[in-house]
A and B are shown apart, each in its own frame.
Chain A
Amino acid sequence: MKHLAFPVFFLLMVCGSVAFARFDTFVFETPQDEQRFKKLSAELRCLVCQNQNLADSNAELAMDLRRELYNMIKAGKSDAEIIDFMVVRYGDFVLYRPPVKPSTYVLWVGPLVLFVIGVVALVMFVRRRGDDVLAGGDLNSDEQNRLEGLLGKQNEKPHQKTGSGGKRKQK
């Protein structure tokens, strides 16, 4: 019997997890209602497990809120009314897409501002470096002589490009 212990244990584990997963069965009158339910429950956050939406969460509260959602859809409430119901009780935090208003400006505009700052910094950096390379003005006369010496040696070798291309490489 001992060789059966593991398979039985495994089976119990699998069955156990199935038994613990809870499903609510909602019957919708129209496919549109079902679509709305899916859409809204995906857009609303479960406050108990904050990185899950109502559709995914198995928390008690999420189940209750899914039931509320179902009842509201069944009662013919509009999406706006349902969203409002949730926001009045749980605040904007319940929405995965928060409204644009003064307290959420940072959220909406922040990434764009950071992006613009990044692009401006990048452009400035690249331009300045480009100027430095092209001007070659940073070298004093000793360095310039040495550079030319090195380039001169290189230029004697076959297959070696000459001119500003080689110069840029050296820098």
Chain B
Amino acid sequence: MKARFLVPLILFLLLIGLFVAGLKLDPRKVPSPLIDKPAPQFSLPGLLDKEKIIDTAELTKHKVSLFNVWATWCVACRQEHPFLMALARAGDVPIYGLNYKDKREDAIRWLNQYGNPYVANAFDEDGRVGIEWGVYGTPETFVIDSKGIVRYKQIGPLTEQVWQETILPLINEIRAEEG
């Protein structure tokens, strides 16, 4: 019973441990209910070519594809853009874009100025499709397999680290599943 005075100290340290763990969690990263569910259906005019309709079926033509939600008003999208360009140059995974609540001319100017990493872009002017996909903070990137299932959602910019640690292993796994 001599060590009884240590009890509050130990409780205090446990509490501190809890707080430190809490600091490392990002409250902005809300798990998406879409994971392992079919990608929401949509059909939107293209960004560069209004006549070309981009829909969910288009995204699932590949074994695996990325669906990146972006906008010209989104600062983090600008930060993410060079990495998307590098991915597009590597040509490993097709990247589709959802231009979210943007102005068409602004978005086209952005692509001309900084480069276009996208196979195609859907133009979601009023954000309705964004709502269908549960978008709340651009940039967001979905990984979609050939069955049209959402396998992963990245909230915030794609980075080399996220790519190497999470997305690339997942893509390899999806490819292995599909043979």
Q: Which of B27, B33, B126, B137 contacts A48 (CB 8 A)?
A: B137
- Give Cα A64 to B130, complex, Å: 10
Is A1 interfacial (CB 8 A cutoff)? no
- 4 further A-B contacts with Cβ under 8 Å, apart from A48-B136, A64-B126, A89-B133, are A50-B27, A60-B127, A61-B127, A89-B132
Q: Which of A61, A87, A92 contacts B136 (CB 8 A)?
A: A61
Interface size class of B (residues with CB under 8 A): 10 to 19
Cβ contacts under 8 Å, B90 to chain A: none
Is B101 interfacial (CB 8 A cutoff)? yes
Closest partner residue, chain B, to A90 (CB atom):
B134
Known: A47-B136, A48-B137, A60-B101. A89 touches B131 (CB 8 A): yes
Cβ contacts under 8 Å, A90 to chain B: 30, 33, 134, 136
Is A42 interfacial (CB 8 A cutoff)? no
Cβ contacts under 8 Å, B133 to chain A: 89
Q: Which of A60, A89, A90 gathers most chain B CB within 10 Å?
A: A89
Cβ contacts under 8 Å, A61 to chain B: 127, 135-136
The number of inter-chain residue pairs (CB within 8 angstroms) is 39
Within 8 A of A (CB), among B117-139: 126-128, 130-137
Is B31 interfacial (CB 8 A cutoff)? yes
Query: Closest CB of chain B to A168's CB: distance in Å?
Result: 24
Is B134 a contact partner of A50 (Cβ separation < 8 A)?
Answer: no
Interface size class of A (residues with CB under 8 A): 10 to 19
Report B's interface with A, CB cutoff 8 A: 27-28, 30-34, 101, 126-128, 130-137
Within 8 A of B (CB), among A45-83: 47-48, 50, 60-61, 64-65, 68
Closest partner residue, chain A, to B135 (CB atom):
A61
Is A93 interfacial (CB 8 A cutoff)? yes
Q: Which of A64, A89, A92 contacts B134 (CB 8 A)?
A: A89
- Give Cα A65 to B28, complex, Å: 18
Is A91 a contact partner of B33 (Cβ separation < 8 A)?
Answer: yes
Closest partner residue, chain A, to B133 (CB atom):
A89
Query: Closest CB of chain A to B28's CB: distance in Å?
Result: 7
Is B31 a contact partner of A91 (Cβ separation < 8 A)?
Answer: yes
Cβ contacts under 8 Å, A91 to chain B: 30-33, 134
Per-residue contact bits, chain A 16-59, to B (CB 8 Å; 1 contact, 0 not): 00000000000000000000000000000001101000000000
- In the complex, the 9 A-B pairs of residues with the closest C-beta atoms, listed nearest first: A47-B136, A89-B134, A91-B33, A93-B30, A90-B134, A64-B127, A61-B136, A48-B136, A91-B30
